[in-house]
Structures are given as structure tokens and as C-alpha cells.
């Protein structure tokens, strides 16, 4: 089903597989969904919009085509115009460094838009999931893989430390640092099953279709709950990851001092009694 307001896109496909659910697909299958700059700029716009779109309560993120979630940075494009390009640059090294830093920060900000999106984001990952694929997945709230997924924190293989978020987030979301160090330092491929065992993904499905289906199912379930409750939960969990327990408890008290004024509590309690499905107004 199409979804209003996301039709003018060049590199992504946004549909609505269920009420209040958006499905965002990287749509460059001929190139294994490899990313270049216009793509992450568009991605940023999409997620900033979804974040405040009251018709959306949960988002599924996947890659179009059979082959790949994404093989990561389009290295060829990057070599020509971008950071890895080099080329004739008359600036001194320090000035070039400033340009690199600005570029990396803008790139990071775009990818972080999945994390900053107020609605939960569920990544459904299949096929090649290299380099930027991991940065993107780390920004999702929930990760689901299809059996054929081949993951790699590929960056050391092209001579650089991953700088778009993998190294910043992976040690915080996977509690097995020996494994985290191993896969980031060796760039070796790991399977969906290995990803599940170490806690990087929470489900492995038979194939891409099933993985997307599972993601849409979870998204639909989440979208059926109070959006006040759901969006508060995402925010508070992300706060907890970055702050002390005491700080999060305090923040939670303040957050809920506003959020508990919602009609959703009454609606939910009443539905619980009446055994009906509650309806929650838009947010």
C-alpha cells in the first residue's frame, strides 16, 4: 500500500504494509543497494519526516532486491568525489582534515536519523550486509535477519576504522566484547545464526520474505499499542544506554509526569476489562 507524502523519492521506496506501519526500502538493487551521498541525504529526510508523522507508529527498514541489504559505501563513488577520493586538493592537510571531519559528521548525522526517529525502527536484513549495513542496523531498535544474511564490519579491509557509527554503538548493544572486537578487527563474515547467538539480531527467519514478514508483524503489533507508551519506551531505553541509572530514573519521572496525562491509559484499562481492542488517537 502506498503512503502519502513519500512519493517523490529517488533512492528509497516507502510503503505502508499495515495500518500505522511504514516500510522503507533502500532501492538500488542493481548496485546491491550500495550507498552514495545523495542516498544518505534522502534517508535523513525520510526518517526526520517519519519521526513526526502521526500516521506512522512503527517503521520497517530493509533493502530491495534478492541480493543485499546493502554492501555498504559505494566505494567507486566515494573514490571519485568524496572523502576517499584524494585528487588535486590545494588545501593544506589541516584544512583537508576539517573538510573530512565535517563530511564524516554530516554522514553520521544522516545515518543517526534512524535512531533519532521517535518511532521504533525494525531492520530486516538479508543477503550482503557489509560496512554501512552494520552502521545502519545498529541504529535500528530491533534487528531481524534472514538465514542467508552475510554480515561483515568490512571497513578495516579498505584501510579505515568504521566511522559512521558501528564502533560507537556495537559495544553498547551487544554484550560480548570479545566477539565485537573479533569481527571488527578481522572484517570476517559472520552468519545470521552467529549474529543471533551473540545477540546482535533477535530473530533469524528462513528467507528474506519471512524476515520482512516477521518485521512487519512486530511493527504491526507495536503500532497497535499506545503511541505515547511506545515512543516513551524507545526514548527512555535510549536514554538508559547513555546515562547512569540514577539519571535515567530521574528523567523517567519527569517524562512520565507529562506522559501519564494521556487518555491512552484509560482506553487501555477499559479495553482490558471489556476484552476489546483499544483505539488510540494519533500522535
Residues 154-183 that bind its own copies (CB under 8 A): 155-163, 165, 167-182
Give the Cα separation of 48 and 62 in Å (integer). 17
Give the Cα separation of 146 and 125 in Å (integer). 6
When the beta carbons of 105 and 206 are compared against its own copies, the nearer one is 105
Minimum CB–partner distance for residue 208 and its own copies (Å): 18
Query: What does the DSSP 8-state code read for residue 10?
Result: S
Minimum CB–partner distance for residue 266 and its own copies (Å): 7
When the beta carbons of 30 and 91 are compared against its own copies, the nearer one is 91
When the beta carbons of 66 and 116 are compared against its own copies, the nearer one is 116
When the beta carbons of 13 and 251 are compared against its own copies, the nearer one is 251
Segment near its own copies (CB under 8 A); pick from 7-15, 30-38, 40-48, 254-262: 254-262
Give the Cα separation of 278 and 231 in Å (integer). 17
> Does 221 interact with its own copies (rule: CB under 8 A)?
yes
Place of cell 505515547: 228
When the beta carbons of 55 and 108 are compared against its own copies, the nearer one is 108
Q: Are 112 and 140 in contact (CB under 8 A)?
A: no
Q: Which of 7, 245, 275, 279 binds its own copies (CB under 8 A)?
A: 245
Give the Cα separation of 280 and 20 in Å (integer). 11
> Does 43 interact with its own copies (rule: CB under 8 A)?
no
Minimum CB–partner distance for residue 161 and its own copies (Å): 3
In our burial notation (b when 16+ CB lie closer than 10 A, e otherwise), range 95-127 reads eeeeeeeeeeeebeebbbbbbebbbbbbbbbbb
- Using CB under 8 A, count the residues that bind its own copies: 112
> Footprint of its own copies on residues 85-144 (CB under 8 A)?
86, 91-98, 100-102, 104-105, 108, 112, 120, 141-143
Instruction: Report the side by side order of strands in the sheet with 58-63.
Output: 12-18, 21-26, 58-63, 121-125, 142-146, 203-205
Amino acid at each position: 500500500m502506498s503512503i502519502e507524502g513519500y512519493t517523490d523519492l529517488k533512492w528509497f521506496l516507502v510503503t505502508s504494509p499495515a495500518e500505522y506501519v511504514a516500510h522503507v526500502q533502500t532501492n538500488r538493487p542493481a548496485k546491491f543497494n550500495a550507498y552514495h551521498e545523495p542516498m544518505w541525504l534522502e534517508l535523513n529526510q525520510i526518517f526526520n519526516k517519519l519521526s513526526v508523522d502521526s500516521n506512522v507508529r512503527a517503521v520497517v527498514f530493509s533493502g530491495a532486491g534478492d541480493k543485499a541489504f546493502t554492501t555498504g559505501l559505494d566505494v567507486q563513488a566515494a573514490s571519485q568525489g568524496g572523502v576517499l577520493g584524494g585528487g588535486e586538493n590545494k588545501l593544506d592537510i589541516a584544512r583537508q582534515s576539517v573538510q573530512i571531519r565535517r563530511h564524516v559528521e554530516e554522514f553520521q548525522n544522516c545515518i543517526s536519523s534512524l535512531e533519532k526517529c521517535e518511532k521504533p525502527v525494525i531492520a530486516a536484513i538479508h543477503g550482503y550486509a557489509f560496512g554501512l549495513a552494520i552502521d545502519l542496523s545498529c541504529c535500528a531498535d530491533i534487528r531481524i535477519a534472514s538465514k542467508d544474511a552475510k554480515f561483515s564490519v568490512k571497513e578495516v579491509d579498505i584501510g579505515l576504522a568504521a566511522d559512521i557509527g558501528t564502533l560507537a554503538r556495537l559495544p553498547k548493544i551487544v554484550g560480548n566484547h570479545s566477539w565485537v572486537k573479533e569481527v571488527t578487527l578481522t572484517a570476517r563474515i559472520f552468519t545470521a545464526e552467529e549474529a543471533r547467538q551473540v545477540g546482535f539480531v533477535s530473530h533469524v527467519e528462513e528467507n528474506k520474505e519471512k524476515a520482512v514478514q516477521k518485521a512487519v508483524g512486530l511493527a504491526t503489533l507495536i503500532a497497535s499499542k499506545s503511541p505515547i507508551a511506545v515512543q516513551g519506551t524507545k526514548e527512555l531505553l535510549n536514554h538508559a544506554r547513555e546515562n547512569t541509572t540514577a539519571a535515567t530514573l530521574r528523567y523517567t519521572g519527569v517524562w512520565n509526569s507529562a506522559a501519564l496525562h494521556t487518555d491512552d491509559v484509560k482506553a487501555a484499562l477499559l479495553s482490558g476489562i471489556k476484552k476489546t481492542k483499544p483505539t488510540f488517537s494519533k500522535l
